[in-house]
Structure 1
Amino acid sequence: MQAAVHHQGLMFFRTGAIAQKSPNCMPGEKPCGLGACFNPTTERCCVNPSSHQGQSYSHDQACCDGTLSHTPHLYNGASCGSQVYNPNFNICCAGKLSNRVPGKNLCCGTTPYGVEDRGVLCCNQTLHRVVEDGYQCSPGGHLYLPSRDMVCGSRVHLNDPGKHCCGEDTYDPQYEICCNGHKHNRLGKMSCCGRKVYNPSSRQRKCCAGTLYDLQVQGRPTEDTQCCGSVLMEAGSTQTCCSAPGLDLLYPTQPGFTCCGHRYPNASQWSCCAGVLHPRPEPHNTTKNVIPGPRLLPLGDLKTEVLCYTEVLLGTVQSVSVKMNERSIVMVNALSLLASRGHFKAMASPHYVTLPDHCSSPELVPGNSYILMKIPFSDTIRFISDLSDHSSPFHSIFSICSTFIYPRGKKANHPNRK
């Protein structure tokens, strides 16, 4: 049974012990959170959002911390936590009751304040007293002065000219390099591999999708190593990497199997068109190793004679369409590049490319940047690398090829040229 209790001229209804599930209510009543009932014609229901416990009040009262079961209004009485108060004389901030002061109708945590109050600023539910104008709240809720401070993550640092944020700390990009929030000394032409730093023109280390491998420990030369996502593949033909946009999977090499996107099906049972599998109506006779379909190699896996000594086209795919068996590609921001000589030329934008065999080309994602090349003495164009993970593809290519680019007046020494 509910008992009516009078308190300072206000009447509310108190329930008995709170049950752990919705109570059995009397006819005409409805559940009010856990363990309470109320009559919707004469009462209002307040439910604590954290505990889901309910309490019913008369219609002339309202909730502060609870959630009204009906449209809220301003009432003569309200509840602040377990207290009933009059909003005309008090203000409830985060369950704490304070006397109402004209103009202070906002809450900062448990403290009331006014929007026109000078010398105060509310950051992350904490009210700060400031001695001068210009202070601001950082995205993390910290007080700082932009003319004096810089905010890196959750930390406030004194502003030092030339310094920038690297994670929670600061760094000088002229002498340091920032890799995923970790700073390192800048020595030579360094690049990031995840949180670590390395020289991409070095033959001693290789970066596979943010994982750095020491090839001296592995006992492998750079030219014989390839990445499959973040995994360094075994040398030889014991493994096959099948790739689709955003997905690289490694399979044990099997006779008669070939990649189709990220899948590695039996070519006698399946045909492949631009990464899409199609069942063969009749088994296809395949007894030898199948020549794998085209795979977009990571930039670090490209042979230097291909990347640096071949004229390649670098650009962003804007759209792709297919007509019959031809694939039409619209590229923007396209450059013709011969890195070994330091030559590059901007192409007309948009730049149009037509691939005569749609099925033999890898899947392309509009918005991603790619390297493509024309096979010498042929009209065939093939895509060789997806550069979507590189913030500056142009810089990445020249960093790799920098070892083979000599100062002006000296000829580049091609590795295959005697």
Structure 2
Amino acid sequence: MSVHHQCCGDHQFDQRSHCCCFDSEPLSPEPLNASCCASSGSNHLGIAPTSPKCMSGKQPCGLGACFNPTTERCCVNPTSLQGQSYSHDQTCCEGTLRHTPYLYNGASCGSQVYNPDSKICCAGKLSNRVLGKNLCCGTTPYGVEDRGVLCCNQTLHCEVEDGYQCSPGGHLYLPSRDMVCGTRVHLNDPDKHCCGEETYYPWNEICCNGHKHRGNKSCCGVKAYDPSCDQMKCCAGTLYDLQFQDRLSEEAQCCGSVLMEAGSTQTCCSAPGLDLLYPTQPGFTCCGHRYPNSSLWSCCAGVLHPRPEPHNTTKNVIPGPRLLPLGDLKTEVLCQSKVLVGTVESVSVKMNERSIVMVNTMYMQASRGHVSAMASPHYLTLPDHCSSPELVLGNTYIWVKNNYSDTISFISDLSDHSSPLHSILSRCSK
């Protein structure tokens, strides 16, 4: 993994922070503060040598050294792991400070040794200690009470006027004058907002995943398009120009981010967060994202169950509502049907009925311009739980009703749409 890593049995370890102990079987790396490291150290081959013989009252310090933990401190070079003892008023800089058998609770800054009463160690650089300068900004010491000093991303700025702050990118900015977009600083404009690292005017521009575009459009990933245009198709953030596909909008269907082939050669099976394409086969049907042989498998709400014996699938079975991407709903169905938009809060099953509790529910019939809020919570019942698609609590769905029977015929997950109402109404605007 790095030039500092060595083998230890079947594992590797960073010799700056671990050693290889023979105390365990099989061999395994242990942190340097482990008792076996403190007692034996470790060399560059990852072999734990025998502990150095120390006089009574002293403990091993790295490889080949001993120290008295009551009067001395042990500093271990992180490269060679050689140790050296120093008087108790000294501190390690840029290395490992060891107080056997555990790490010493003090500065841990290297193999150099310095007196913390007269020196300060900042990122491996020793400087003379000055009264009040007990903080580090990169390699430079400074004091919290220093006037006109500001540390941004380990860079010390001096003679800074009052009111300035650090941006995430490490730049100075004045909140009353500047605005920060990502890591960049721009002059403040009350009409502008952030779009990624840049600024944009929301009244005549649109921001799509950090990319700005002009005009009143909708987003498809980082691109913008007019959803009422029959020539463009958005599939889960991927925009397709149907002119190049030689397709009509109403014929084009998505399977996740993929534009499906024309005709019935492909079948898209969907589950929450997963869409898979299969070659269409007779006798096969979707069960969530799977496409099993329905004579061998039964399906209930996206869960497969093996049939004890082959099943005749030629009987008429009333299908449940289909889960489709919003863009695959035909315009006349979406705009002329009775539509519910709501967020699923709870789902329960009684016998074979599925009861759904929704909040923030609206009823709309876009072709007539009807939009009205429903009582909250709103209750919806699907008569066949098993034939209905799996729902995710907290996601927002559109429920398209059959105008004749008032049953649910289509369901679309709107959780990926930043503005569900705009997504619907823009399709029906023409």
**Hey, what does 2:168 align to over in structure 1?**
139
Q: Which of 249-258 and 317-326 deviates more?
A: 317-326
1:55 aligns with 2:83: yes
Q: Which of 133-142 and 115-124 deviates more?
A: 133-142
Matched residue of 2:333: which SS?
helix
Residue type at the aligned position of 2:351: M
**Which of 342, 347, 350 is residue 315 of structure 1 equivalent to?**
342
**Hey, what does 2:281 align to over in structure 1?**
254
- What is the RMSD of the two structures over their aligned residues, measured on CA atoms? 2.6
Pair 1:84–1:370, CA change in 2 (3 A): same
> Which whole-Å deviations, capped at 9, do the CAs of 1:286-327 have from their partners, x for residues lacking one?
479999764311111111111111111110001111122111
Residue correspondence of structure 1 range 185-204 to structure 2 within 5 A? 185-186=214-215, 189-204=216-231
Matched residue of 1:216: which SS?
helix
Following superposition, the deviation at residue 204 of structure 1 comes to: 0.6
Following superposition, the deviation at residue 18 of structure 1 comes to: 6.6
Pair 1:340–1:89, CA change in 2 (3 A): same
Following superposition, the deviation at residue 64 of structure 1 comes to: 3.1
Distance 1:319 1:295 in 2: 20
Matched residue of 1:384: which SS?
strand
Residue type at the aligned position of 2:204: Y
**Which of 380, 389, 392 is residue 419 of structure 2 equivalent to?**
392
Q: Would you say how many aligned residue pairs link Structure 1 and Structure 2?
A: 379
**Which of 19, 24, 40 is residue 49 of structure 2 equivalent to?**
24
Contact 1:254–1:289 (CA<8 Å) still a contact in 2? no
Contact 1:80–1:96 (CA<8 Å) still a contact in 2? no
Distance 2:127 2:305 in 1: 72
Following superposition, the deviation at residue 271 of structure 1 comes to: 0.3
Residue correspondence of structure 1 range 255-334 to structure 2 within 5 A? 255-286=282-313, 294-334=321-361
**Hey, what does 1:214 align to over in structure 2?**
241
**Hey, what does 1:93 align to over in structure 2?**
122
Following superposition, the deviation at residue 382 of structure 1 comes to: 4.2
Following superposition, the deviation at residue 225 of structure 1 comes to: 0.7
Contact 1:331–1:349 (CA<8 Å) still a contact in 2? yes
Matched residue of 1:222: which SS?
coil
Residue correspondence of structure 1 range 176-187 to structure 2 within 5 A? 176-186=205-215
Matched residue of 1:64: which SS?
strand
**Hey, what does 1:338 align to over in structure 2?**
365
1:351 aligns with 2:383: no
Pair 1:80–1:252, CA change in 2 (3 A): closer
Matched residue of 1:259: which SS?
coil
Distance 1:393 1:149 in 2: 33
**Hey, what does 1:72 align to over in structure 2?**
104
Contact 2:320–2:384 (CA<8 Å) still a contact in 1? no
Following superposition, the deviation at residue 182 of structure 1 comes to: 1.4
Contact 2:272–2:390 (CA<8 Å) still a contact in 1? yes
Gaps of 5+ in 1: 1-16, 404-418
TM normalised by structure 2 equals 0.81
Contact 2:92–2:111 (CA<8 Å) still a contact in 1? no
Matched residue of 1:305: which SS?
helix
Matched residue of 1:395: which SS?
helix
Residue type at the aligned position of 2:44: A
**Hey, what does 1:152 align to over in structure 2?**
181
